[in-house]
Structure 1
Amino acid sequence: MGNGADSRRGRRLGLLLIVLVAAAGSVVAVFYLRPQQDSSAAPPAPPGSDIGGGTGRYVALGDSYTASPRTGAPVGDPPGCDRSDNNYPRLIAAELRPAEFADVSCSGATTANLTGPHQTNNGTNPPQLDAVNADTTLVTLGIGGNDVGFIGLARDCATNDRNVSPCRARLDTGGRDQLAERIDATAPKIADVLDRIRGKAPKARVIVVGYPTALPAGTGCWPFLPLGPDDVAYLRESAARFNRTLAAQAKSHQAGFADTTKPSKGHDMCTKASTKWVEDLVPSAPALSLHPNAKGERAMADAVLELLS
């Protein structure tokens, strides 16, 4: 009987590893975040930035945490961007009721896809910044995780041994933290994007949207998420650093920051199906693995709307 249980456990872990690797092809920033102090900040409101009640133009830019694959019915072109009709930009637009709304977010996007085209597995998304113009009065931006390269960690960090943490041993050694270097290298890319937005839409309120909590404090939830304890801590610390970087860039480039970490605390992928806002490797609610579900998107929308109230 014991051998049978071990066999079933082994098969389950093998399945989870396969799902983890498969998800790596499309997920954005995978492991978010340790709880931290709320760092939300309202955006400056230039003259003419009114929006809502049939006025203004809202443009949503971002990656799959913005597009929200599989949480609702697919909308928009190209189909390969996997936007859902209940992602946080559409929830925001439904409440604000701007005169114009453009959601050009796309799963798998990097900062390069804001200024250049994005070839998806089903169509090409034009440069996202093309949607921003002088009439734009609100921009939300959720980007950067793919620039850092969190996708590859879904494959590299998975382990059959809960006591082994291959990623920290490889990436944080000899006094060099490679993941921290990637985060620091992404900061000027975010800065450039924010400058470009300001140049194209001088009267817009701009909000950088942070990434929500995916991992709890502690050692995680192996084998549901097959990561060793040191890697759980390392990824959590690195992701928190990334969110702080986004907040700092927003502050220094006349933008607001929507901290989604604090409201999503206690709703991470290791919590119960009825509680979680971020799904684990085998989603219990409609969503892409390791991505926010509909509840998570609602919480992200609320974090933005609070800054605009």
Structure 2
Amino acid sequence: MTVKTLRVIMVTLLAFLLVTPVANATPRYHRYVALGDSYTSGPGILWPRLDRLACYTSTNNYPALLADNLGLRSYTDGSCGGADTTNMLTPQTPPLPFGTHPAQFSFLRPDTDLVTIGIGGNDFGVFGQLTSKCPELRPTDPGGSPCRSFHVVDGVDTMKQKVAMTGDRVRAVLAGVHERSPSAKVLLVGYPRIAPPRGNCPSVLPIADGDLRWLDDVEQALNSALAKAAADDGRTTFVDMYPASLGHDACAGRAAWIQGKDNNLFTAIQYHPFKSGMVGVANQISKVLGVRGGAHERAVPRSVDKAVVGDASTVTLLTRSGHGR
């Protein structure tokens, strides 16, 4: 290698170091708490946290990946599958017989400096109704919208009505977070799109053609209600995953962030995010926070060390050798 070549390499390397942000330099946040439902906890995504089996909590969910992006050595994940806004104040008894999950607000501390919240889809049974009743009704009118017709009562779309009420609940949740962690940066995370903007894929989403458009409308209404709750709160930033997930709906094949009708206990349960979806959310949140998104899908589980502080489980991030990084 000539001196001239070596000089060019050194100059190029120096320029790269000067313009490339370091994801794990001095962390801007130190006490991160994640709250939410199954779109936060990550059911079916390898690898599960053995201390949180009842909540279907994955070590590859977006709180874990975001903590990596932020260079944090520990974080607290209070999310739980099946949670709705009432479980911020009320303990939750998941369907699996592994005990009771504490009220999610119990994970917050006065010195918490970053909070992400992904909640609202389960309130008033909206998500469950869409993903159970709509496939059930498809055979009655595959090209129509039997599910929408079922949920429109006396001219009122009851699903959109419930979504509007959910916005009020979420606004109260945000106030509760600020009360308990007054100095925290608070992010309300929206839901990624499930249905495609056009077309269908009945082998993946067995929902009538017209109901796919309606389901998408309901999801947009939910995200709009969440965005309004954050705006009305005035101290919360909304992370809009709907536009960010364009091209990654359940019908998008290998590009999909969302599982379709099938349950796979190694990738995702039905109608829930894959690891790729969690990566997308973590990187979008990182972008909102102004840090480089570098989340990736882990091939092996990272080591975790659980420390119990009151009711809160804090996960310490370790390298494969077991030493904190």
Same fold (TM over 0.5): yes
Residues 56 and 154 of structure 1: CA distance in aligned 2, closer, same or farther (over 3 Å): same
What do residues 218-249 of structure 1 show as CA deviations (whole Å, max 9, x unaligned)?
24212432211221111110110100110111
1:130 is matched with: 106
Is the 8 Å Cα contact of residues 54 and 99 (structure 1) preserved in structure 2? no
Aligned-pair distance for 1:156?
Answer: 1.5
After TM superposition, give the deviation of residue 56 of structure 1 in Å: 2.2
SS of residue paired to 1:84 = coil
Aligned residue number for residue 128 of structure 2: 151
CA–CA distance in 2 between the matches of 1:162 and 1:87?
A: 34
* Structure 2 stretches lacking a partner, 5+ long: 1-24, 291-325
Backbone CA RMSD of aligned residues = 1.9
> Which of residues 163, 170, 182 is equivalent to 2:143?
163
Shift in alpha-carbon separation, 1:255–1:55, aligned structure 2, 3 A: closer
Greater relative contact order, per chain length (Cα 8 Å cut-off, separation 6+): 1
Task: Check the 8 A contact 1:52/1:97 in 2, yes or no.
Answer: yes
C-alpha distance in 2, partners of 1:299/1:52? Answer: 23
Distance 2:129 2:229 in 1: 25
3-state DSSP class of the match of 2:122? helix
What is the CA-CA distance between 1:263 and the residue it aligns to? Answer: 2.1
Aligned-partner Cα distance in 1 for 2:81–2:164: 23
Q: Show the counterpart of 1:105.
A: 79
1:262, CA displacement in angstroms? 1.7
Instruction: Label 1:198 to 1:242 Cα distance change in 2 as closer, same or farther (>3 A).
Output: same
Q: CA deviation at 1:200?
A: 0.6
1:127 and 1:52, CA in 2 relative to 1: closer, same or farther beyond 3 A?
farther
CA drift at 1:154 = 2.1
Q: Which has the larger radius of gyration?
A: 2
Offset from partner CA, 1:110-158 (integer Å, 9 cap, x none): 1111111000122211011101111000000000100042202322112
CA distance in 1, matches of 2:200, 2:186: 34
Mean alpha-carbon deviation: is it higher for 164-173 or for 294-303? 164-173
Secondary structure of residue in 1 paired with 2:187: strand
Q: Distance in 1 between matches of 2:52 and 2:267?
A: 21
State the Cα distance separating 1:52 from its structure 2 match.
Answer: 5.8
- The counterpart of 1:60, out of the listed 31, 34, 38, is 34
Deviations 1:170-229 (A, max 9, x none): 212532111111011111110111000001111000000010011111242124322112
Kept in 2, the 8 Å contact 1:162–1:222? The answer is no
> Post-superposition shift, 1:104?
0.9
Q: Find the counterpart in structure 2 of residue 182 from structure 1.
A: 162
Question: 1:1-309 counterparts in 2 under 5 A?
Answer: 53=27, 56-75=30-49, 77-98=51-72, 100-120=74-94, 121=96, 122-149=98-125, 150-158=127-135, 159-160=138-139, 161-253=141-233, 254-272=235-253, 274-282=254-262, 286-309=267-290
CA distance in 1 between partners of 2:208 and 2:65 (Å): 37
Letter of the 1:78 counterpart: R
| Offset, 1:283 | 5.8
Assess if the C-alpha contact under 8 Å between 1:52 and 1:99 holds in 2.
no
Mapped to 1, the partners of 2:220 and 2:26 lie a distance apart of 33
User: Could you tell me which amino acid in structure 1 is paired with residue 237 of structure 2?
Assistant: G
**2:115 aligned counterpart, secondary structure:** strand
Whether the 8 Å CA contact 1:79–1:123 is kept in 2: the answer is no
TM-score by length of 1: 0.79
Runs of 5+ consecutive residues of structure 1 not aligned to the other structure: 1-50
Contact in 1 for aligned 2:29/2:113 (Cα 8 Å): no
Q: Would you identify which runs of 4 or more consecutive aligned residues in structure 1 move more than 4 Å?
A: none
Shift of 1:98: 3.5
2:225 maps to a residue whose letter is T
Paired residue for 1:21?
Answer: none
Q: Which amino acid aligns with 1:152?
A: Q
AA in 2 matched with 1:72: L
